[in-house]
Structure 1
Amino acid sequence: MNTPNEPGAMRGTAKKRKRIIDCDIHPRMKSYRDLHPYLSQRWKSHLETYGLRMRQPFVDAPRYPQAVPTFSRRDAWPPEGGVPGSSLSFMKEHYLDPCGVEYGILFLLHPMGMNDRNLEFGTALSNAANDWLHNEWTQKEKRLKASLLVNGEDPQGAVAEIERWGGNKDFVQIFMASRATEALGRQRYWPIYEAAVRHNLPMGIHVSGESGLPGAMGWPSFYEEHHHVQSFQHRELLTSLVFEGVFERFPTLRVVLVEGGFAWINSWCWRADRQWTRMRDEVPHLKMPPSEYVRRALYLTSQPMDEPERANDLRDVVTWFGWERLLFSSDYPHWDFDDPSQAFKCALSESERRGIFFENAAKLYGLEARGV
């Protein structure tokens, strides 16, 4: 965490850096009843009577109850009540205004419709959540843009939702969870990627979701383990996307991996290229080394920030991958939030800083400057 987790820690940062696009902000519902206006009577009754049925031991809490609610900063609780992230007015006062955020990209993590075992209900929840985001957030605050939540386990329903909102400027990307029933490169998910390309929308894949299975090494004992290995979700799904041929089949698809860090990407590319050289006869559908697909299609967000002992070593990491592929993200209002005035401890040139904090995301999402 790069800022004191105390009230007032972010005051005054807007003067230090005016042009910021934050690519990971988390709104939160006060309760699931917020979705009632956007659900049919059938699904409203289902939600009230049966609730959610997820692929994990807990429904309304993560596996580590002490992290409830929403893994958030102590100073992020709205004074009018409600959980962190549930008040638009307080988000503006506490973060957007003092930090000079020109645009913020919203990721709604709860409810995660694609985790519900009832696929039809999961799709209804996702669709209602998009209506809620549009009506209660992006229409009320033009600095905020939303990620369109789709139920990846229901590709037909997901495509219908993309078609419903495609062309609406309030939604700048499609949001799927990183952990699903199958690896996301599998062809059952390809109709979603095809729809994304058709509407010129990136896929924003946030660390999230539950497959119902433990990690590659079994169930972790400690929250520290759980938090550390989250980034491995992105390494696994990237391997699937590349080797299953998603980027070959959809050459204009763009993918943003959110909240998994970024220092791992170069070693992934080196290893994947080496394996492809040795075993390329098994994947003849790949026409070029994995690293070339990655550098054509992939963007990474900065949070959680990787902080080597020698701060300027971070420059090498970004240079190897590409300065134009890194986007700033804060993860507000979560406890490991990165304050934009303190996020990068290494030296950045003015052009590098503009790219990371504004220009890369503005180009990717088609956002116009708001006149600073």
Structure 2
Amino acid sequence: MNIEARQPSRSSRTKPAIVDVDIHAKSSVEDLRPFLSNRWGDYLQTYGQRSRHGYAKGFPYPKGQPLASRRDSWPPDGGLPASNLDFMRHQHLDQYGITIGIMNPLSPTGQGDQNVEFGAAMCFAANEFQIEHWNRLEPRLRASVCVPYEDGELSRTEIRRRAGDQRFAHVLFMSRTSELLGKRRYWPIFEAAVEAGLPVGVHVFGYSGWAMTNSGWPSFYIEEMTEHSTSCQAMVTSLIMEGVFERWPELKIVLIEAGFAWLPALGWRLDNAWKKLKNEVPHLKKAPSEYIRQHFWVSTQPMEEPDDPEHVIDVMNWIGMDHILFASDYPHWDFDDPFLALPPKLTAEQRGMIYSGNAQALYGFA
């Protein structure tokens, strides 16, 4: 996929209505600076951002491509991929007929910063920037509520600030948190999200301060790529076992860019263990797989691609066709072309659900 994408013929295909739940609109630190107070602007200038890993700058693993982006996604003005609205319109929104796109900023946002107060200020700035630079000029693009998720109270404050603002689609987490996501330190975030009527989107990535596997740091980027699903399995298990969904039965979780073939098998394994050990978790009122079926949605990207395409349709049916949302991951190198990503043997009704119907129902998009 690390090549220039061929542009599909506009005349040869009828464009479906598409809601893309994973677009990585890009900002720079300088873009966010006008939205910071003098205190935090000075702090940023003096100390910078401090992620929860061992490098002062950069990432532990090279991304296979600069900024993990397609070679053809760098705009003609010399800016960063997905930083130029006109170019994004041309290359993605208009090209594929995207009716609504949800922006999931990855960096800089302040999420997971060592200084949670500074992180809260950066999240505020990132949220303001999404509205001012993107949504105000292109209403098809909806924002995510970035929160400093390692501090529940600061996160709750930011969610309540955005509550009722239809320009925000969901609350955004990264998947690698300092503790498992079901732990009580994160509960104020779930409470505020439910109060605001917002789903919680959990996008893979982030740094917790811990090694990303139980046995330390892997050697290769390909291992990091596949680790995303295992971190999400632990997260899903924690949310269920800690009783989060019993406490907030209206809570909705969207797993973004985590893959999805693992999810049914996780439910089966949890059900098997729960039948034998349910007296350890008497607060659970139903089988773990029922919580999965009711409370979790998954994005299509990265699309599972078995040798037999019908196998992935089986997995989709096990998850529930109504809980699968289309995502492109634009502008990243493993971008999924909206016209080519879905299994060809899906029915027209199923494709319509995945492309737009499910997201419209989940997010309340008109």
Coarse TM-score class (shorter-chain normalised): over 0.9
What's the counterpart of residue 362 of structure 2?
364
Please name the residue that 2:152 is paired with. 155
Which of residues 60, 70, 74 in structure 1 aligns to 2:71?
74
1:113 to 106, 110, 113: 110
* 1:249 is the counterpart of 2:237: no
Give the equivalent residue in structure 2 for 1:61. 58
Q: CA deviation at 1:64?
A: 2.3
In the alignment, which residue of structure 2 is the partner of 1:9?
7
Check the 8 A contact 1:177/1:208 in 2, yes or no: yes
Deviations 1:176-230 (A, max 9, x none): 1111111110011111101111111000010021012111232111111111111
**Secondary structure in 1 matching 2:172:** strand
Structure 2 distance, partners of 1:249, 1:7, is 46
- Which of 293, 298, 301 is matched with 1:300 structurally? 298
The alpha carbon displacement at 1:70 in A equals 2.0
Report the Cα distance in structure 1 between the residues aligned to 2:190 and 2:60, rounded to whole angstroms.
31
Q: Which amino acid aligns with 1:336?
A: D
Distance, in Å, in 1 between the alignment partners of 2:290 and 2:248 is 14
Q: Does 1:127 align with 2:127?
A: no
State the number of aligned residues: 365
Aligned with residue 320 of structure 1, among 318, 321, 328: 318
- Mapped to 1, the partners of 2:29 and 2:282 lie a distance apart of 47
Which consecutive residues of structure 2, in runs of 5 or more, have no partner in the other structure? Answer: none
Structure 1 match to 2:202: 205
Deviating beyond 6 angstroms after TM superposition, the runs of 4 or more aligned structure 1 residues are none
Cα shift readout 1:264-303 (whole Å, capped 9, x = no counterpart): 1110010010011111011011010001111111100001
CA distance in structure 1 between the aligned counterparts of 2:63 and 2:268, rounded to whole angstroms: 39
Percent identical across equivalent pairs? 45
Contact 1:315 1:346 in 2 (8 A): no
**Correspondent of 1:260 among 248, 258, 261:** 258
Residue of structure 2 in register with 1:173 after alignment:
170
Partner residue of 1:284?
282
Contact 1:12 1:99 in 2 (8 A): no
Worse-superposed segment, 100-109 or 5-14: 5-14
Q: Alpha-carbon deviations, 1:316-362, whole Å to 9, x = none?
A: 11111110000010000000000011102340111100000010001
Residues 252/118 of structure 1: CA separation in 2 closer, same or farther (3 Å cut): same
Question: What is the aligned-residue RMSD (CA, Å)?
Answer: 1.5
Going from structure 1 to structure 2, the CA distance change for 1:298 and 1:219 (only over 3 Å counts) comes to: same
Kindly tell me: are residues 247 and 94 of structure 1, through their superposed partners in 2, closer, same or farther at Cα, counting changes over 3 Å? same
Query: Partner of 2:308 in structure 1?
Result: 310
Contact 1:13 1:99 (8 Å CA) reproduced: no
Mapped partners of 2:84, 2:225: distance in 1 = 26
Equivalent AA in structure 2 for residue 349 of structure 1: T
Which amino acid in structure 2 is aligned with residue 259 of structure 1? E
Partner of 1:336: 334
Given the superposition, is the C-alpha separation of residues 356 and 266 from structure 1 closer, same or farther in structure 2, using an over 3 Å criterion? same
Aligned partners of 1:92, 1:157: CA distance in 2, in Å? 34
Give the drift of 1:36: 1.2
**Cα separation, 1, equivalents of 2:308 and 2:66:** 34
Partner Cα separation in structure 2 for residue 163 and residue 87 of structure 1: 30
**Aligned letter for 1:143?**
R
- Asked if structure 1 preserves the Cα contact closer than 8 Å seen for 2:313 and 2:343, the reply is no
Could you say which residue in structure 1 is the equivalent of 2:92?
95
Q: 1:358 to 1:287 in 2, by over 3 A?
A: same
Q: One-letter code of the match for 2:99?
A: E
For 1:160, give the aligned amino acid: T
Deviation (angstroms), 1:83: 1.1
CA distance in 1, matches of 2:250, 2:132: 31
Shift of 1:10: 4.9
Alignment partners' CA distance in 2, 1:13 and 1:88? 24
- The aligned amino acid for 1:96 is L
Question: Shift of the alpha carbon at 1:14?
Answer: 9.1
* Local SS of the residue matching 2:309: coil
Bigger shift: residues 10-19 or 272-281: 10-19
Q: For the residues of structure 1 that align with 2:251 and 2:13, how far apart are their CA atoms?
A: 36
In the aligned structure 2, how far is the partner of 1:133 from the partner of 1:126?
A: 11
CA contact (8 A) 1:10 1:95 kept: no
Secondary structure of the residue aligned to 1:148 is strand
Query: How far 1:13 sits from its partner (Å)?
Result: 8.6
TM-score (norm 1): 0.95
Measured in 1, the distance between the counterparts of 2:261 and 2:65 equals: 28
- Please give the secondary structure, in 1, of the residue aligned with 2:67: coil
Partners in 2 of 1:188 and 1:11 — Cα distance?
50
Structure 2 partner of 1:136? 133
1:57 partner amino acid: G
Structure 2 counterpart of 1:190, which letter?
W
CA deviations on 1:80-113 (whole Å, 9 max, x unpaired) are: 1111111111110111101111110100000242
Q: What is the deviation of 1:7?
A: 5.0
